Structure 1
Amino acid sequence: MRAVVYDAIGAIPDVREVPAPNAPDGGVVVRVHATGLCRSDWHAWAGHDEIALPHVPGHELAGVISEVGAGVEKWPVGDSVTVPFVCGCGRCEWCLRGDAQVCPHQRQPGFTHWGSFAEYVALHAADTNLVAIPRSVSFEAAASLGCRFATAYRGLVGRARLAEGEWVTVVGAGGVGLSAVMIAKALGARVVAVDRNPGALGVAGSLGADHVLEADGRDIPAAVHELTGGGSHVAVDAVGGELTSSDAIHSLRRRGRHVQIGLLPPVGGHPRVPMARVIAWELDVLGSHGMSAVDYPGMLALVESGALNPERLIERVIDLDEAARMLPVFDQAAPAGMTMIDPQRRADPAAPCRRAERL
């Protein structure tokens, strides 16, 4: 099969022929029709995660089951499926109570094993982790649910317990941040979106954000407090940086809830978090690490009802060759939406990037 591969941390990836995977016991092989290019893939490439080399990235995906391993009971060849980026073992106490996203034996395509920037990917514990794709949902939209939408949904619903009418400040209007804007609006919340990219803020506004703030050196927390009459009830750092995390926390009102979604890699030690404000105002600081398959029905119900339309965030669909070129510079990009990869698509310089479409 063709796959995006890199041989060392920070090395330039290329597209090459590699052996296709076999279905593991309890797992399946999926023919990948869509996989997202995400900042987390860049983090692994840059050395912020432990990975074995050579490596194939890619962790948010959708496709069709092409092979079924021994012991799989629920999934035949030919089913259209997606999967959370955290795959639980299906046997531990956390998986058995529906919290596979924190399974101590978890596997993650694109991190613990070869991922979905390839024509085929192996997935483990299929009966625990696979999610059927409704006929009304495209492969690209389904792939977007596995990381960015699922993480934002879990962060707002499962962790922050967002209520209708509350204020939410979303710092970062990339894929996760825009997903959070859409989900918050679908749940009846009021949203302030913050970003340094005016184009991304324009998209946030078109998706329903009540206010947008450009991070151009102004005092973001002060602006949020003024707009919301005392601070937001919930804040989300969808970027992952000391400044963005601090701005989100300081944007909260007393007894507010902060959700840290963006990864905070240690730079010169552990990241600095404004704990004095957390203690004095009794703020809740919550992590959100994806979402287990058993929690997908609530999110899919919003999609099928039309209240949530993830396809609106898909900016373009590219091939594997373009994905290999984009991965090393993804931290420098300012996307106003999601980039999806179709591994079955061969490079054609004359062909325009296509929009999402169910195959």
Structure 2
Amino acid sequence: MKAVVFQGAEEPLEVQEVDRPDCQEHGVVVETEACGICRSDWHAWQGDWDWIGLMPTEGLVFGHEPVGRVVEVGSGVERFSEGDLVTNPFNLSDGTCPYCRAGRANICEKSVPMGFVPFQQGAFAEEYPVRNAEQNLVTVPESVDPAEVAGLGCRFATAFHGIVHRVDVTAGDWVAVHGCGGVGLSAVHVASALGANVIAVDVIPDKLELARELGAVETVDPESVQDVSQAVKGFTEMSRGVDVSVDALGIAETVRNSVDSLAPGGQHLQIGMTTSEEGGEVSIPVDTMVTEEREFYGSYGMPPHEYDEIFKMMDGGKIDPGKIVTETCSLEDVPDVMDRLGEYDTMGIPVCTEF
């Protein structure tokens, strides 16, 4: 079968013929119908994240935002059958650790990141395997276009989990989102659906316009203001600051701007991962966070049981992840799209739909 294969850090990705994945006893094999092309794939391709133990090896197949139909079922799987339309989180869990049992499978002690390690192939391929299917597979409603939910494995899921379950966003709150890539736009859309007044921050006008279409009520272009955090605060009552601020880039400057945008008692949500320039560490104003009781939260993927919440909100017309999908392509085009991610030359979530 065809797949996009990693040749080494920063080396050109190649579409090659590879072996079809084996089906484990408690796993399934899925025929890919759509897979989001995520900035996390780009980070791994560039050799980032060795500081958290992710070091892709030659021959790896990326792709961790998949939707597809089950074509083979392991003997230990009862809940899924051939032909089922499914998706799964990128961080595959085993279902047995204390965090899994507490409903926090996204931080499973034995989590396996799909498409980032050689023993769990990703979905930039005609077929892909899913381990521990009873734990990780999620049934997708047949009424849903696979391309519309291809971001649910990572970007939309991480934003949804963070906005809905990690911080406290209620109707009327002020929420700032720093960075309007795929995950940032997802955060804008979800926070707006909850009734928040969203301020979108980005240097690219087209991304700010898309943020408005997804619910942002105000926008800030950092290149047009002297102080981003003060510009954000200026939209809020008495310029106190926002209730929740989200960094969706992982750049030192945007993390700091996000924390500085908060009102006393506000919550910072980190959903952007750092690049090699930050190396996983960013300076923040600790004393101010203490004296104003600001809080710092992280969001990493989403546990499988929360997918039903997304589908219910989609069915009720409150959210539409498909609005963030701005580009579709074939498997052969994936290397080019990945290259453009490095130039920030993509909008929203690009999705591969032809395999």
Determine if the TM-score, normalized by the shorter chain, exceeds 0.5.
Answer: yes
Q: Which residue of 1 aligns with 2:246?
A: 236
Instruction: Say yes or no: does 1:334 pair with 2:339.
Output: no
Instruction: Say yes or no: does 1:284 pair with 2:287.
Output: no
Instruction: Say yes or no: does 1:67 pair with 2:87.
Output: no
- Return the letter of the residue paired with 1:223: A
- Mapped partners of 1:135, 1:308: distance in 2: 17
Instruction: Say yes or no: does 1:223 pair with 2:231.
Output: yes
Q: Is the 8 A contact 1:118 1:343 kept in 2?
A: no
Q: Which residue of 2 aligns with 1:9?
A: 9
Q: Which residue of 2 aligns with 1:78?
A: 83
Alignment partner for residue 313 of structure 1, among 299, 302, 324? 324
Q: TM-score, normalised by structure 1?
A: 0.93
- Return the letter of the residue paired with 2:24: P
Residues 266 and 339 (structure 1 numbering): CA distance in 2 closer, same or farther, change over 3 Å? closer
Q: Which residue of 1 aligns with 2:19?
A: 19
Worse-superposed segment, 109-118 or 321-330? 321-330
Runs of 4+ deviating beyond 4 Å: none
Worse-superposed segment, 271-280 or 49-58? 271-280
Unaligned 5+ segments in structure 2 are: 49-53
Describe how 1:46-195 pairs up with structure 2 within 5 A: 46-48=46-48, 49-112=54-117, 113-195=120-202
- Mapped partners of 1:289, 1:279: distance in 2: 24
- Mapped partners of 2:293, 2:224: distance in 1: 27
Q: TM-score, normalised by structure 2?
A: 0.94
Q: Which residue of 1 aligns with 2:274?
A: 264
Q: Deviations over 1:303-338 (max 9, x none)?
A: 111110111111111011111122134121233311
SS at match of 2:170: coil
- How big is the shift at 1:198? 0.3
Alignment partner for residue 309 of structure 2, among 281, 290, 298? 298
Alignment partner for residue 255 of structure 1, among 240, 262, 265? 265
Unaligned 5+ segments in structure 1 are: 345-359
Worse-superposed segment, 329-338 or 240-249? 329-338
- How big is the shift at 1:91? 1.6
Q: Is the 8 A contact 1:200 1:335 kept in 2?
A: no
SS at match of 1:105: coil
Q: Deviations over 1:28-59 (max 9, x none)?
A: 11101100111100011111232232211110
- Mapped partners of 1:336, 1:200: distance in 2: 7
Q: Deviations over 1:213-236 (max 9, x none)?
A: 112062111011110121110010
- Mapped partners of 1:141, 1:83: distance in 2: 14
- Mapped partners of 1:203, 1:268: distance in 2: 28
